[in-house]
Structure 1
C-alpha cells in the first residue's frame, strides 16, 4: 500500500484505500524548500537525535518551537544547529500556529520531538506534495513497533478514527498522527483554534471542511525511549478528543451535530411522555409539570432537527460556491 488516498471535498473518497491520480505537472521538491517543524516540551533526551536524523536525510532547515521546557531541550536544539523559538503561549496547537508565522519556505514537515517518528520517512511524506496534494498524514499503524503503543492507546486511536469517519465522512486512517507534511498556503486557509494536543484532530476536520487535497502514507512508528516521558493521559485526553470531534461537527457536519441533539430531545421527551401516560392509565395520576417538560423537549428536538437540515443545506451551497470560485481562479489566465 503505497498511498491510501482521500481527496477531501470531492466525490472521490474511497473508504478502503486505492490511488487517486493527480495532475501530471509534478516536480521534485528540494530539501531547502522544506521546513522541519518540531514542537517540543521537555524533549532533551531525544531532540538532538531527531535533528541529526533530518540532517542525515539532507533537510537542514529545522525549526524547534518550545513550550518553555524545564529541561535542556532548547540548549540541545541550538547546539545541533536548529532555529529555536520559545512560544508565547502554551499548548501544541498554539505553538504550531505561532511557528508558521516565522516560516518563509512553501512546505512544512511537522513531527513530535520524542523520537517515535523516523526522519528516514521524510522523503515519503514530502513526495505527495510534489504531485499536487496539500496535506499528508503519516499512518503509524502501517509499521508500528510492538511496544510503541499501549493496548488502551491503540484501542482509543481506532475508536477515534472510526468516529471521525462516521461524523466527518472521510477515512484518514490515523488522524492523531503527529507526522504531517503540508503546504503553507493550505495551512493558511484553515481556521484553527485549538491550543492543545487536539491540533491533529482539528487539522483533519479542517482538511475535510475546506476541501484540502489530503493523502495518507505509511510510516514507521517506534516506541518512545525510556528516558523520555509522555505528556498524554489516555482516558482524559481521549475523551477530550472525542468531544472535540463532536464539537467541530457543528460547522463541518451540522446535520449530524444538530440532528443528534434533536433526536436526543425527541427521544427523551417521548420517554417522559410514555411515563406520564402510564401513570395516568395505571393510577389515574396526572403529572402536568412533567408533561409540559416532555412537550418542550419534543418541540425543541424537532426545531433542532429542522435547524440541522437547513444548516446542512447552507454548508453544501457554500462548499459548491467555493469550488466554483476556486475553479474560476485556476482557469483565469495570468496577466
Structure 2
C-alpha cells in the first residue's frame, strides 16, 4: 500500500506568494494532499489557494504555533510536510525531504536554509537564529544547524508524540527540542532560501518574537532539564547565602561570638532555601523521566515510516537528488 503524504502550509496574508507555493508543491508531490491553513487573513489568500487547488482550512487563533497544533491534530498521513506560505523556501525540494524520511527511516527531516540571494536573511534574523540555535545546542547537547527552519517533514509517529504547546513562531524551537529530547532519528537537507516576492511582508518581528523564542528555550530547559535548571538556581541562591554568612563566620572564628545574629539567621535560611530548590530539581527530574517514557511509548505505538523499494525508485527517477545536496544526519544520533 502506497504511503500517504500531506503538505501543510500555514498562511497569514500571503496572497502574493501562496499560489506559487501550492503549484510548486503539486509539481514536486503530485500524490500529496495540500492543505493551506488560513490564519485569519484579510487579503485574497484563501481565494488564491483555492484557485491553485489546495484544501483550505481555517484557524482563527493568531499564531503559527496554533496553526501547527490544529494541523497536527486534523491531518492524518504517513509523512506530513510543513512549509511557510511566503515562497522563501524551495518547494521543489519537497520530494527530496519526503524520500529521505522513508529512506532513513527518519522521524524528522529539516530543510536547512542556505541563502541564495543577498539580503534574504535580514541581519537581525540571522544573528538571532545563530544565538538561539547556539543556546539550544548548549542546553540540549546535540548538533542543530538551523533550529528555526519552517521547512520540515515528519513521520506519523513523531506527530502523535508531539504535544504542540507553543502559540507563535517559537513552534520550531519546540519541534527541535522534542526530537532532541526523545533522541528521534533526524536528518537535514540544505535547501535554497530566497527573499519574499514583491507585495509580501514578513510577519516575524525580530525582537518581540526573538524574546518569545528565548522564553520558550528557558521554559523547555526548566521542564526538560529540571536538575540542571534548579542546580543553577540553587547555586545562585547559595552564593547569596555565602555572601551574607561569610563575614559572620569570620567574626566567630576571630572573636568566638556572633555579633550579627540576625544576619546569621538570614544566611542560614537562604542556604536552606537553596537546598530545597536543589531537591525540587531532582524530584522533577524523576517526573520528567516518566513523561519521557510516556512520550516514547506513544512514539513506538506507530510503525516506522516505510515505502516499497519499487515506489521509491519511481519517485527517484522523477526527481533525482544531486550529490552536492546529499543529506547528513545532524540531529539526535542514537
Question: Structure 2-normalised TM-score?
Answer: 0.78
- Counterpart CA distance in 2 for 1:176 and 1:322 is 23
Indicate which of 212, 217, 227 corresponds to 2:184. 212
Contact 2:222 2:229 in 1 (8 A): yes
- Counterpart CA distance in 2 for 1:297 and 1:236 is 35
Contact 1:47 1:114 in 2 (8 A): yes
Q: Match for residue 129 of structure 2?
A: 157
Indicate which of 92, 95, 102 corresponds to 1:123. 95
Indicate which of 1, 21, 44 corresponds to 1:50. 21
Indicate which of 65, 68, 71 corresponds to 2:43. 71
Q: Match for residue 104 of structure 1?
A: 76
Q: CA 1:279 to 1:137, structure 2 compared with 1: closer, same or farther past 3 Å?
A: farther
Q: Match for residue 307 of structure 1?
A: 280
Q: CA 1:100 to 1:322, structure 2 compared with 1: closer, same or farther past 3 Å?
A: closer
Indicate which of 134, 137, 162 corresponds to 2:107. 134
Q: Match for residue 155 of structure 2?
A: 183
Q: Match for residue 41 of structure 1?
A: 12
Q: Please tell me the root mean square deviation across aligned C-alpha atoms, in Å.
A: 3.1
Shift of 1:271: 3.0
Structure 1 gaps, min length 5: 1-26, 331-335
Higher relative contact order (CA 8 A, sep 6+): 2
Contact 1:172 1:216 in 2 (8 A): no
- Counterpart CA distance in 2 for 1:279 and 1:227 is 72
Structure 2 gaps, min length 5: 304-334
Contact 1:167 1:256 in 2 (8 A): no
With 159-168 and 57-66 compared, the bigger mean Cα shift is at 57-66
In the alignment of these two chains, the number of paired residues is 298
Q: Alignment partner of 1:101: what SS?
A: helix
